[in-house]
Amino acid sequence: MAEAPLVLEHKEYRKFYKMRPEGVKLILDNGAALSGSGGAIPFDGLMTASYCTDADEIVIPDIMYEHDETLELAREYAPQVLKTKRFLVPQGRTAREWLHCASEMIQKYVLTTIGVPKHLDQLPGGRTHILAQLKKRWPLIGTRGHPSVHLLGVWNDSIEVLWLARRFPWLRSIDTSIPEANAVHSCGITSGRKFPYEYLSSERFRAMEDSKILFATVAQNISDMTGWANGKP
């Protein structure tokens, strides 16, 4: 997953995702969680970032926690994005609000993916409750021909990713900085450690491009985490 504001701001960041290996899918986030105000970047900037990176999916603008405003943004912008690239993130201040927002999106738009933000873990029952209700209301979600479900970030370490993947095998994907953050500290996923992640500066991206060892560690960490999620020892 790439952050649209950083794509527009940093040449090296943009190049990093543009030059991704063939077959690697890219979700372009609108930056709602990245911005201090909780609002996404302007839509024209989001689309410019998508062209710059050849993004496979585009997160339609949303506003964290805000049910009504997020639905208004979906009404305005979802029709302007190809159906095969529509990634919608329901919002709400309660589980009931969030599920209603998700229901409105699923019924009104043809979309590829529903995103489940990690701030929902602050609610009673957290994302575990939300995901269980989501599957109960739409049993076919996460299956072929129906919207996929993606978890937007994790709070803790690689064990959280493993637990979520095993508990909800119908989830398509989870984004996390853990493989890269650990690699920057020359540490593998199997260590069970988690390091704080800071969005990379242009200088750090240039260093990453020159470091075959770092990329090899990132690749190994991703491979290990993916293997765990798929039930491999």
pTM value is 0.87
Span 169-204, pLDDT tens digits: 999 998 887 887 777 777 777 766 666 655 554 455
Span 48-59, pLDDT tens digits: 999 999 999 999
Interatomic CA distance for residues 75 and 67, integer angstroms:
13
pLDDT value at position 159? 75
Eight-class DSSP state of 127: H
- The residue among 48 and 159 whose pLDDT is bigger is 48
Span 85-133, pLDDT tens digits: 999 999 999 999 999 999 999 999 989 999 999 999 999 999 999 999 9
Gyration radius of the chain over CA positions: 17
Q: Domain residue spans in the chain?
A: 2-176, 177-233
Mean pLDDT of the chain: 85
Give the architecture (CATH level 2) of 2-176.
Alpha-Beta Barrel (3.20)
Token pair 């209301």 is at which residue? 137
